[in-house]
Amino acid sequence: MQRLAMDLRMLSRELSLYLEHQVRIGFFGSGVGLSLILGFSFAYACYYMSSIAKKPQLVTGGESFSRFLQDHCPVVTETYYPTVWCWESRGQTLLRPFITSKPPVKYRNELIKTADGGQISLDWFDDDNSKCYMDASTRPTVLLLPGLTGTSKESYILHMIHLSEELGYRCVVFNNRGVAGENLLTPRTYCCANTEDLETVIQHVHSLYPSAPFLAAGVSMGGMLLLNYLGKMGPKTPLKAAATFSVGWNTFACSESLEKPLNWLLFNYYLTTCLQSSINKHRHMFVKQIDMDHVMKAKSIREFDKRFTSVMFGYRTIDDYYTDASPNRRLKSVGIPVLCLNSVDDVFSPSHAIPRETAKQNPNVALVLTSYGGHIGFLEGIWPRQSTYMDRVFKQFVQAMVEHGHELSSM
């Protein structure tokens, strides 16, 4: 990133000298257009360096956690340089699924039973070729939670696994019920307020490798679920640390933002159809308790949640469900180190709803807030195929907690 800044400054100087030369000799034919383009490029480079490329805001509830991150996860204090031709929130959000690569990952699938007779699909990356942790019983394990309709096939999940492989860690992806191709055995899916399935998965993974450092990372709705679990459990969890990315902190604010006309057109309606498609595969399981025809006519996530999710999980009203689903209410009760990366321009999670003051009251919490990055975007570099700022935060943080986490307890 420092190299990018130097390149931009050098480009600015070269453009300035070139323009001075052109003005001195005069413009003819296409030279005028070229000079205008170069002049615009120079102005844009200046604007980018002064207004777009910025250091993230680090909000922590304790000086010790802040020092720990500065020492062992320095990326959270470095300037974030969004992709120069795509830094706006919606552009970053829309582009990432199409432009980022999908590293090949070979999974081992496991289906585990739940107390209500259902099943959960786990996709394991065992990393048996790990050179750093050859003993599987002590190999660090990272539990990954995808977003709203996401699975282990999402590009951001694949990148996290690729980075974990570089560190020699094992990963396991928690696929929510009914979304990864497995049969739905009971009339129940998932929501970010109900943590029972996540509790089952965490206890199962920990029982398999009780001596291995155990961490978790959740993206978007997966992060909301993870934070609600941590707020419920406090320090009584086998997890050593956790990270979340692009979490929606206040469900009411998220819904209101996504219902603005442009956001509804670009994101809300599409995600609603994805939710409808995921449950329509198992339609026969729900017809006795839910009016599925009414659900399939929903035009927004709020309407879907009102007609399906809140009914399935026994909430009296959609407001009751959204109140229970908002992780900002439980942040004060989190009892292990948690790093939360959000962009303040994320239309899924408005800046005003980010719980800065609550975070300052919990020494286990650190918010990393970038000015740009969108929702699960965080693209950087001229052609952001391989890595994002979010990926670098993930890798540095999990490595810091595995290798230096003991320092936090001694600070």
pLDDT higher than threshold 60 for residue 149: yes
Give me the percent of the chain exceeding a pLDDT of 90: 80
Q: What are the catalytic residues? A: 220, 346, 375
Segments in 48-88 forming alpha helices (H): 63-72
Confidence (pLDDT) at 32: 63
* Average confidence (pLDDT) over 72-86: 93
What is the Cα–Cα distance from 186 to 188, expressed in whole angstroms? 6
pLDDT higher than threshold 70 for residue 26: no
Confidence (pLDDT) at 142: 98
**317-330 confidence digits (pLDDT tens):** 999 999 999 999 99
Buried b (16+ CB within 10 A) or exposed e, 310-344: bbbbebeebeebbebbbbbbbbeebebbbbbbbbb
> Residue 170: how many CB atoms within 10 A of its CB?
24
Pick the more confident residue, 111 or 25.
111
Confidence (pLDDT) at 59: 97
pLDDT higher than threshold 90 for residue 109: yes
Confidence (pLDDT) at 28: 41
What is the Cα–Cα distance from 124 to 173, expressed in whole angstroms? 6
pLDDT higher than threshold 90 for residue 69: yes
Nearest to 155 by CA among 144, 143, 166: 144
* Average confidence (pLDDT) over 101-115: 96
Provide the whole-model pTM.
Answer: 0.90
> Which residues touch 241 (CB under 8 Å, ≥6 apart)?
215, 336, 337, 338, 339, 397, 398, 401, 405
> Would you place residue 384 in the very low, low, confident or very high pLDDT band (cuts 50, 70, 90)?
confident
What is the Cα–Cα distance from 134 to 51, expressed in whole angstroms? 47
> Would you place residue 48 in the very low, low, confident or very high pLDDT band (cuts 50, 70, 90)?
confident
